[in-house]
Structure 1
Amino acid sequence: MRPNPALAPCRRLIPVVLAGGSGTRLWPMSREHYPKQLIDVIGPGSLLQATVRRMDGFPEGWDVADAPLVVCGDEHGFIIDEQLRASGVTPRLIVEPARRDTAPALTLAAMLVRERDGSGDGTEDAILVVMPADHAIADVKALQRAVELAARHAQRGEIATLGVPPTRPDTGFGYVRIGEPLRDGAHRIDRFVEKPPAELAAQYVADGTYWWNSGIFVMRASVWLEALRRVQPEMHAACRAAVAEGATHGARFDPAASAFERAPADSIDYAVMERLGRPDAPCTGVVVPLEAGWSDLGSWDAVWDALGKDDDGNVARGRVVFEGATSTFAHAESRLVACVGTTNVVVVETPDAVLVADRSHVQRVKGLVARIKAEHAPEAEIHRKVRRPWGFYDSIDHGDRFQVKRIVVAPGARLSLQMHHHRAEHWVVVRGTALVTRGDEEFLLSENESTFIPLGVRHRLGNPGKVPLEIIEVQSGAYLGEDDIVRFEDNYGRCPSDRANP
């Protein structure tokens, strides 16, 4: 499959934001249930919010879709929708029922684009601008110039990737070896290289023909689908069935779980991109230079590198005091953090965990999180403050046979009708009005009023008012885990057997 001059003209661009992620490398600020694309890592707003705005003000002459396609997991769907609407973006969500890496995620998006924006017979098409949701870009206009050049190649039926000329040897990035130069500054793709050891990374940088792999791709939906069909027919078939059997709920699309789970898990690089440049390649590919202050923020050292520093090379976020410190990154969320005489150190404080690490060893944080998870400690997966479709709860205190939570319910929202086998609950309203269901009773509670929910009794908490409802909940019992929940009714499409997401 070579560049095809017979392809119909196409100037429609659709941003596709890949918003999966496990939240391990920027622990403890990032967790599995609230990964780095959802947090404020380097500036106001989350990385996701910054990503979906990167096509704003794109050069004239292109038809850029107003609503990006965002591919995410079910556990993050409601948070992503909430964040994007808060920033003025109405997204179209593709909610994966299982984790299958980036190639199936992109394939779902491409199939939906062909179904919604084209006839599917090759006479209409759209160019996809595929961006990870958790990267940083310092110069958005430079990114747009690179995307425009990549889109011109995509018009001709090529798959383009953006490569970053390296500024240093880095073992945390994959690399693209550039091939034959083209007249417009792009290059043919010679090959992709996985994350190298330090000595080899230094050789790559000295060689000058290896660029960092940014993970940003530009291609026509039809070209990606045909390339994938040729080299990954099992994945193509599974995704096609998942789309055909899936369901649309407003701006959200849910692929059929049974079909999607048959798709092999694979990345865009492994599934297709690493085959480009070979004689049997399913299509041709180019790499376009991206010099826009790009970072994948893959470690705390990368976060330190991306932020402004004081005269001693220190970065402070939150209430931080430095005394004789150099090249130190300190992040404080809930208390004062003081760093005295530290050098090349990372300190990240959250309400329930503190990380202290040598900056040269921050790549080992992922392994640390794996150890914490193996010990079944909750800090690997959730924060003390846990967001839910109805609001959030904050675990204030706990001890033997008791736990205290602050629960905030959004106006008009309500929790599921549920029951616990092992705990009772005391509720005290501190703000707003609560609508309480307890067994066969239904009644209102105002500020400074309280009620008791006995063990084994069906109950529900709702907010009928126009201001947030805030209560203090005291749980008591032999077992206080979040999996001790039996649901009977729920407003948010959560299956009653799903006992991990109250």
Structure 2
Amino acid sequence: MIHPVILAGGTGSRLWPLSRQLNPKQFLKLTDHRLSMLQLTVGRLDNVNTTTPLLICNEEHRFLAAEQMRQAGFDNAPILLEPCGRNTAPAIALAALELIKGAHQDAEDPLMLVLAADHLIQDVSEFENSIGRAAALAKSGKLVTFGIVPSHAETGYGYIQRGSELGSEGFTVNRFVEKPDQSTAQNYLSSGDYFWNSGMFMFGARRYLAELELHRPDILAICQAALDQAQADLHFTRISESIFSECPEDSIDYAVMEKTDNAAVVALDAGWSDIGSWAALWDALPKDDNGNSLTGDVIAQDTENTLVRADNRLVATLGVKDLVVIETKDALLVAHKNNVQNVKKVVEQIKNDGRHEHMNHREVYRPWGVYDSIDNGNRYQVKRITVKPGAKLSVQMHHHRAEHWIVVSGTAKVTNGEKSYLVTENQSTYIPIGQKHCLENPGVIDLELIEVQSGSYLGEDDIVRFEDSYGRV
């Protein structure tokens, strides 16, 4: 049995404005209009003999991750919550320790398949075949990485030089090399001895921890202590922040794979991409006769080799080529494809200017539903709120704002101070400043309402919670 471990902790700032800090690319529908990158990742394991995937994500993404796993058919998928990012070596150590904790001491070493949540693999059958080859090597004690057969001289990836053959399954690893310049990348491609470094792995959990103890015992010790002090919360496991924050940051490549004498590489030629930029997404998507990839309400006249994504309104292009145009409710990106690696600089400027467009979309997902900030001005803000059937917001109060709720559809159960009552379609209610209150949906259809906030301060941090069903402070 294979134990999938899905790393879902990245922020994906190179895909701004679609990817945001609180809604990064692994949770977005980029290459499929129905499924997110995370859902595609777990879905391609359907024909592999695996246990329920173990997900590792940031604390701030926990409800988004849990909901997407539920939609993918895993209602109670185990999720490890990292209180802070410390790169892949510690994250994988936490997963290995968790798997061993649930395995009998005398049982076979749990076989881990470590996957990134935000990669594209188009040939699922070939991917399944490569897992079989990797499993054979991993069971023999190898630490296996998946090497992507390069299609061109790429300078954006690290490379793996293969060594001697290991039967028909794979090769030893001669060396790992950093991202090369164009000339070096061309030499690697011409030699036929190099693979792109995919960041996907397979090995026994105990085997990985033994190598980590040999090469980075400091990381292993802190991960063990942090997990020992972890707290269970529903199907989440909250790792101790006070301990884990002291863990050194290191990738599995630097910490283990470049140091071990037991590294192996399995070739994978399956239409892989890490979708690391808008140009990479354009490469991966279907295109029309003019080389354009168009999503949404788009009119493209005299336009070539361009990516346009319009999520909310009509976008028209005229007399352009080699552009990326991404429209969201609160931001618009227009960039040349050759410059998309510098989107991070835009994000940094947004942060430095004290703006918020790097954090979240206008539409914000919560465990109880979603809200859309449709308008705001001096001392007021208007939101469209959707509450899922049976869901309940926290019992809370605000020091600086009052709220008016107008029900558009469904039925709301409102707690307003000492009173509790129902509010139905076309009815409204008022919550004064400082009043303890709560909103829930007792019905079987979505509750939709308009909330009008008014007051001297309207920030999301003006919330005092008294009770919460979702473990929020």
What range describes the TM-score normalised by the shorter chain of this pair? over 0.9
Structure 1, residues 18-74: CA drift from partner, whole Å, max 9, x if none? 11111301111111100111010011200100101222213xxxxx33311111112
Task: Find the aligned partners of 1:381 and 1:169 in 2 and give their Cα distance.
Answer: 34
Are residue 32 (structure 1) and residue 28 (structure 2) matched?
Answer: no
Partner of 1:237: 221
Equivalent position to 2:284, from 282, 286, 306? 306
The residue type paired with residue 66 of structure 2 is D
Contact 1:433–1:464, Cα closer than 8 Å, also in 2: yes
Partner of 1:473: 451
Equivalent position to 2:41, from 33, 36, 51? 51
Task: Find the aligned partners of 1:250 and 1:473 in 2 and give their Cα distance.
Answer: 30
Partner of 1:291: 269
Provide closer, same or farther for how the CA distance between residues 158 and 185 of structure 1 changes in structure 2, counting only shifts above 3 A. closer
Task: Find the aligned partners of 1:360 and 1:48 in 2 and give their Cα distance.
Answer: 27
Contact 2:2–2:51, Cα closer than 8 Å, also in 1: no
Higher strand share: 2
Partner of 2:9: 20
Cα deviation for residue 434 of structure 1 reads 1.3
Partner of 2:141: 157
Partner of 1:70: 55
Cα deviation for residue 189 of structure 1 reads 0.9
Task: Find the aligned partners of 2:13 and 2:255 in 1 and give their Cα distance.
Answer: 24
SS of aligned partner of 1:272: helix
Structure 1, residues 60-119: CA drift from partner, whole Å, max 9, x if none? xxxx33311111112111111111211223422112222222111111111111111232
Partner of 1:380: 358
Contact 1:323–1:339, Cα closer than 8 Å, also in 2: yes
The residue type paired with residue 28 of structure 2 is I
Structure 1, residues 428-479: CA drift from partner, whole Å, max 9, x if none? 1111111222222222211111122222222221112221111101111222
Are residue 109 (structure 1) and residue 95 (structure 2) matched?
Answer: yes
Task: Find the aligned partners of 1:400 and 1:200 in 2 and give their Cα distance.
Answer: 56
Contact 2:137–2:169, Cα closer than 8 Å, also in 1: no
Task: Find the aligned partners of 2:394 and 2:155 in 1 and give their Cα distance.
Answer: 46
Task: Find the aligned partners of 1:89 and 1:491 in 2 and give their Cα distance.
Answer: 20
SS of aligned partner of 1:42: coil
Equivalent position to 2:398, from 407, 417, 420? 420
The residue type paired with residue 192 of structure 1 is F
Task: Find the aligned partners of 1:318 and 1:21 in 2 and give their Cα distance.
Answer: 26
Partner of 1:4: none
Cα deviation for residue 250 of structure 1 reads 4.3
SS of aligned partner of 1:355: strand
Cα deviation for residue 393 of structure 1 reads 0.3
Contact 2:115–2:199, Cα closer than 8 Å, also in 1: yes
SS of aligned partner of 1:224: helix
Cα deviation for residue 262 of structure 1 reads 2.4
SS of aligned partner of 1:412: coil
CA RMSD after TM alignment: 1.5
SS of aligned partner of 1:378: coil
The residue type paired with residue 15 of structure 1 is P
The residue type paired with residue 167 of structure 2 is R
Unaligned runs of 5+ in 1: 1-11, 59-63, 276-280, 496-502
Aligned residue pairs total 471
The residue type paired with residue 37 of structure 2 is L
Partner of 1:9: none
Contact 2:134–2:169, Cα closer than 8 Å, also in 1: no
Partner of 2:64: 79
Task: Find the aligned partners of 1:116 and 1:377 in 2 and give their Cα distance.
Answer: 44
Are residue 461 (structure 1) and residue 439 (structure 2) matched?
Answer: yes
Structure 1, residues 228-287: CA drift from partner, whole Å, max 9, x if none? 111111110111112222233443322233222222122111211122xxxxx3x41111
SS of aligned partner of 1:481: coil
Larger CA deviation: 134-143 vs 233-242: 233-242
Contact 1:23–1:33, Cα closer than 8 Å, also in 2: no
Task: Find the aligned partners of 1:24 and 1:175 in 2 and give their Cα distance.
Answer: 23
Equivalent position to 2:168, from 184, 200, 208? 184
Identity fraction in percent? 48
Partner of 1:316: 294
Task: Find the aligned partners of 1:429 and 1:229 in 2 and give their Cα distance.
Answer: 58
Are residue 144 (structure 1) and residue 128 (structure 2) matched?
Answer: yes
Are residue 200 (structure 1) and residue 184 (structure 2) matched?
Answer: yes
SS of aligned partner of 1:243: helix
Larger CA deviation: 438-447 vs 290-299: 438-447
Contact 1:318–1:331, Cα closer than 8 Å, also in 2: yes
Unaligned runs of 5+ in 2: none
SS of aligned partner of 2:303: coil
Task: Find the aligned partners of 1:260 and 1:144 in 2 and give their Cα distance.
Answer: 34
Structure 1, residues 208-245: CA drift from partner, whole Å, max 9, x if none? 32211111101011110100111111110111112222
Cα deviation for residue 185 of structure 1 reads 5.5
SS of aligned partner of 2:320: coil
Partner of 1:3: none
Larger CA deviation: 401-410 vs 196-205: 196-205
The residue type paired with residue 8 of structure 2 is A
Task: Find the aligned partners of 2:145 and 2:121 in 1 and give their Cα distance.
Answer: 16
Larger CA deviation: 283-292 vs 249-258: 249-258
Larger CA deviation: 214-223 vs 204-213: 204-213
Contact 2:17–2:328, Cα closer than 8 Å, also in 1: yes
Partner of 2:347: 369
The residue type paired with residue 188 of structure 1 is T
- With normalisation by structure 1, the TM-score equals 0.91
The residue type paired with residue 143 of structure 2 is I
Contact 2:162–2:193, Cα closer than 8 Å, also in 1: yes
